A and B are shown apart, each in its own frame.
Chain A
Amino acid sequence: MSKYSLRICHLYPDLLNLYGDRGNILAFTFRAGLRDIETEVVALSMGQPFEKDQYDIVFFGGGQDAEQNMVRRDLVSVKGPAVREAVEEGRVFLCICGGYQMMGHYYQEQNGNKIDCLGALDIYTEGKKDRFIGNTEYHCDLLVNDPVIYGFENHSGRTYLGDSVRPLAKVVSGKGNNGEDGTEGAVYKNVIASYSHGSLLPKNPELTDHILTLALGRKYGEDFVLEPADKTFEEIARKEMKSCKK
């Protein structure tokens, strides 16, 4: 038996499963495994209540419009209050693209119609016609050893940050939150949100380790230290991303 373990909640995996977001779960499991930390992945979907004390990390990905509309209703009406409480308590979340948008106040469609979202994050999103698609590079100050994040974005929403959240990173290449203010993603307490697919975490092991540290620190005490672990293959992928940039 391992001394440490983490329970990961995968929100709506049967509906939000686009652009490789599943790889983020694999990244948690893989890099935790390198430290002999056990992981258990729990799928939570439509109609099931969110029991916030059950999970150390919550992952919330993106999907197609039809699926996201279904999820949004369930999120707001079934899981809403518990998720908001969990966020305020400092539980660890990773939210990507549609999951990121749905954590905000609202999503405004192109025709001006405002769709209420969860309001757990002080952000809002406006839908636009043209999509931001392509490889991305960001600079993230949270990651001390190697601040570069590589990703792939594919979104038509433009997200704007309120005063109580800060951006996850600065855009080096690509569009990020809205293509205007040079910001990418958002951080609020222990919630990390980003537009990066790709998957985000496999190519950014520093970020994986950062999130694991947050979750383990919360569970086993602030002084928990995550041992360094091999990242040879992650570095190969990062080197290729760096050199293939046009």
Chain B
Amino acid sequence: MGSFRVGFAFVVAGGIRFSLRLLGKGATALPGKVAIKIAPRFIWEMADGRDIITITGTNGKTTTTHMISEILRNSGYYVATNVSGANLASGIATTFAQERRHIKRAKRKGLKLVYVLEIDEAAFAKVAGDLSPKVCVVTNLFRDQLDRFGELLYTRDCIEKGLDLTDAKILLNADDSMIAALRKNREARTLFYGVDEQSMTQNNVTNVAMAKALPASSDAEYCLSCKRKYDYGARSFGHFGTYSCETCGDSRQNPQISVYFDPSMSSSDPGLPLTFQGKGFSVEGVLPIPGSHNIYNAVSAFAACSTFGDIVGDSDLSPEHVALALSQVQPAFGRMEKIQVGDKSFCILLVKNPVGLDRALSMVASASDAGGIYLLLNSNIADGTDVSWIWDVDFESKTLPDQLYCSGERYADMLLRLVYSGAGTDRIRYAAMPEAFKMFEDALDACAPGKCLYILPNYTSMLALREFLVRKYRLKDFWR
């Protein structure tokens, strides 16, 4: 801790955090905000000399951060991480404001301290340089809250700017053409991860006719440099796949670390066997959290941990060990954790943008225990005030469970979306936000024994529901 300013900021931030916690508040951003105000170089000084892994990209940040953290915890590390959602500079500074405590605890337990930080794409441009991370994971680029960023390319520019302020090893998703393009001028420090071509199945569409008539929106059908439509050898979902452009010759790069699975097996049920392959190894594991998108999160977490192990020379992070530790990761509340209530269960999948909802619907459509879907839609600033994106999601090609519910402040928009998908109005129940919790209880009652009610809220509707559920079922709040 170099300067007096930073020392002072550290003490003040600690005090604010302590007071807020006494008041029962989360204190995930304010302490850091104040620390940066007092000492603008707070993050830079605190991060100096630390082992740091960052995760950015539009989707999968929280789950990937969770997976990496759990793998490292299982491998002799004390992991300091920012609280899910607190992924702006303020949230990262808040994490560092507790540094002394992290160091003390790590020391007491004889563990190595590592920071695993989820960072918002726009914030990444500003803070990556201050962090000097060892490893930067970039997950993917899908449309996300466009009324905030405006354009997908702007988001990528932010990530690019951040990467150039570090000399970290860069882990890129080989199957995402938008992300893979970030390799240019950074080839020497780039590693690719991806899904084995033989495992790619296209979108697990069940209603082929409807999918053909009105294809789901894809974010990158054309090569951006020569405006030519990509040819695809195989596709997994969205714009992920083995793309190639005939004009400029740009094509999907062979991933140094890839994951293989049997494409005829469902990724919606627990325990899908995975094989991680790389130079000199092929190791077995299972998908710890269901969903085709989580296969990508899993392979990126695998790549991040083994690459980090290489850099710091830690033989405990061997491919075998990382695959084993990854297989044992438990889902977090709000991210697929199933809560048992009597002879049935429910689980929450946070959905914030078109591809998130598309993947969640696809997962539930093929989950063998799906007893109903409950969609919640709000349009507060944290959600994005524009809800039009629900129309970009392909409901039409999926076979959803018989019981459909919707609520949230914008329940009427979601209701109309369901009706226009051709779902049949007798299957749909709906309620305005004040009755959302009552309808949740009814929905759980109506769920057949042994089945699971899948709840798909967006951000602020999840916060409201979470508060209700934590109280009603005495759950441990995953926010803390």
List residues of A whose CB falls within 8 A of some B CB.
10, 13-15, 17-23, 25-27, 30, 40-41, 43, 45-46, 64-67, 70, 131, 133-135, 152, 154, 197-199, 202-203, 233-234, 236-237, 239-241, 244
A41 near B218 with CB under 8 A, answer no
Given contacts A20-B392, A133-B147, contact A239 B412 (CB under 8 A): yes
- Whether B51 sits at the interface, judged by CB under 8 Å, is no
CB B210 to nearest CB in A, in angstroms, measures 10
Enumerate chain B residues within 8 angstroms of A40, measured Cβ to Cβ. Answer: 213
Q: Which of B220-228, B303-311, B338-346 binds A?
A: B220-228
Q: Tell me, rounded to whole Å, the shortest Cβ–Cβ distance linking A19 to chain B.
A: 4
In the assembled complex, B449 has its CB within 8 A of some CB on chain A? no
B419 / chain A contacts, CB cutoff of 8 Å: 30, 233
Chain A proximity of B250: nearest CB distance (Å): 16
Across the interface, which residues of A come within 8 angstroms of B150, CB to CB? 131
Q: Shortest distance in angstroms between B194's beta carbon and chain A's nearest beta carbon?
A: 23
Does any Cβ of A come within 8 Å of B1's Cβ? no
Q: Point out the residues of chain B lying under 8 angstroms from A202, CB to CB.
A: 391, 416-417, 420
Within B375-401, which residues are at the interface with A (CB < 8 Å)? 385-392, 396
Q: Does B269 contact A (CB under 8 A)?
A: no
Partner of A22 from the list B143, B391, B409 (CB cut-off 8 Å) is B391
Q: What residue in chain B is nearest A151 (Cβ atoms)?
A: B388
Measured between beta carbons, the chain A residues less than 8 angstroms from B229 are: 14, 45-46
Known contacts A15-B222, A64-B153; 15 further A-B pairs (Cβ under 8 A): A14-B221, A14-B222, A21-B391, A23-B388, A25-B214, A45-B229, A46-B222, A70-B227, A133-B147, A199-B388, A202-B391, A234-B416, A237-B412, A240-B410, A240-B413
Q: How far is the CA of A226 from the CA of B425 in the complex (A)?
A: 23
- What separation, in Å, do the CA atoms of A230 and B356 have in the docked complex? 32
Interface presence of B48 (CB below 8 A): no
Q: Decide: B217 and A233 in contact? CB cutoff 8 A.
A: no
Instruction: List CB contacts (< 8 Å) of B146-175 with chain A.
Output: 146-147, 150-153
For A240, the chain B residues whose CB sits under 8 A away are 410-413
Given A41-B214, A46-B229: A197 touches B386 (CB 8 Å cut-off): yes
Closest residue of chain A to B390, judged by CB? A20
Evaluate contact between B413 and A237: CB separation under 8 angstroms.
Answer: yes
* Given known contacts A23-B391, A23-B420, A240-B412, A64 and B151 CB-to-CB distance under 8 angstroms: yes
User: A-facing mask of B186-213, CB < 8 A → 1, else 0?
Assistant: 0000000000000000000000000001
Inside 8 A of A27's CB, which chain B residues have their CB?
420
- Contact residues in B for A20 (Cβ distance below 8 Å): 388-392
Could you tell me if B420 and A26 are in contact, using CB atoms closer than 8 angstroms? Answer: yes
